[in-house]
Amino acid sequence: KTIEFAGALHATVVKQVRLKNPSTKTLVYNATLVGRDADDFSLPKGNTVTISPKRQTSINVEFTSRFLHPAEAVLLLISKSVGGIDGATLTFSLKSEVKHIEPAVSLSVCLIL
């Protein structure tokens, strides 16, 4: 699955990833961002995700663009064993696109000739 982050240059875009636990046991995942531009993405609520039995949860992934070129990374969710129960390792491709540039400051220039 690919998660796309589109916005203005230097803007922060937040996406939610919804995770479901169909089992009768609690699942715990360690979330890691890897790849060329992993430093531009973040997990503001931390790297540990706990999903109660028969429930779902969402994790936020933030991206702040620093450059015009597209950024890419991978979100890895690796299961921690809880009571002998392991969940499947999950991977999400993260891609960004700068849609527009907003000026940080507007200047007025007056020329006197």
Q: What is the pLDDT of residues 22-75, one digit of tens each?
A: 888 889 999 999 999 999 999 999 999 999 999 999 999 999 988 888 999 999
> Quick one: 83 exposed, middle or buried, by C-beta within 10 A (0-12, 13-18, 19+)?
exposed
Q: By the 8 A CB rule, do 86 and 104 touch? A: no
Length of the chain: 113
State the architecture of 2-99 in CATH terms.
Sandwich (2.60)
- Write down the domain spans for the chain: 2-99
Query: pTM for the full model?
Result: 0.81
Task: Give 70-90 pLDDT, tens digit per residue.
Answer: 999 999 999 987 766 677 899
CB atoms within 10 A of CB 33: 18
